[in-house]
Amino acid sequence: MKELVNLIEEIVELCYQQKKAEAYEKINLFINEIVKAIVELPESKVVEINGILQNILSAMEENDIVAVADLLEYELKEKLV
């Protein structure tokens, strides 16, 4: 989980700096890793995390890279620590 949190911090910095290509590359990596990691979490938490991940995907579709960073940093991170 600690690695995922570190990865979030890297992604947030890239998103706030509008480095979209690098950010999206790391987001792909993050999603692959979190899917593997959440199987160990209680189901209620998994539901919450999935909801946030859905919102992140919507923000990506909307091309709103700052919203992606916000959701990762202020909604998802606290669920992982």
Partner 1 sequence: MDTEKNVYEANMKALQLYRRDICEKLERQEKQKFFEIDTCNIEAAKDGSEILYCSKGDKVYYLNSKYAPLKEAQTWAKKCEVKNINQISIIFGMGNGMFVKALLERIPVGNTVIVYEPSKEIFELVLKKIDLVELLKNSKLRILVSGVNEEELYHLIEREVNASNFYHQNCFVLPRYGEIFPCEYGKFISEMRKAEENAYVQEITLIGLGKKSIKNSIENLKYILDGKSLKNAKETMPPNLNAIIVSAGPSLMEEIEILKKAKGKALIIAVERIVDLLLENGIVPDMIASADPIKAVPASEKMQDVQMVFLTTPPCNPKLYQKHKGIKIVCNNGGLYQNLCLTTGIQEDMVSSGGSVATFVFGVLISLGVKRIILVGQDLAFKNGKSHAGATQGGDPWRMKIEVEGVDGTTVITRQDWAMFKKDFEDRIENNPDIECIDTKNTGAKIKGTKHMSLAKVLEEYCKEEIPIQEWLKEIESVFKESDRKKALQELGLYRDELKETIEISNEAIKLCEQLKDEKGNEDSVEKLQNLTEKLTDMRSRILINDILYGYTTEMQAGVSNLESEGDLWESTKGIFEKTIEVAGEMREDLKEAIREIKEYFGEE
53 near partner 1 (CB under 8 A) = no
Q: Does 65 bind partner 1 (CB under 8 A)?
A: yes
For residue 41, give the DSSP letter.
S
Q: How many residues sit in the footprint of partner 1 (CB under 8 A)?
A: 15
Say which residues have a Cβ less than 8 Å from residue 24's Cβ, sequence separation at least 6.
60
| Interaction between residue 54 and partner 1 (CB under 8 A) | no
Angle at 19 (CA atoms; ends 12, 16), nearest 5 degrees: 35
For residue 1, the 8-state DSSP code is -
> Applying CB under 8 A, which of residues 18, 40, 43, 44 lies at the interface with partner 1?
18
Residue ranges binding partner 1 (CB under 8 A): 12-13, 16-19, 63-67, 69-70, 73-74
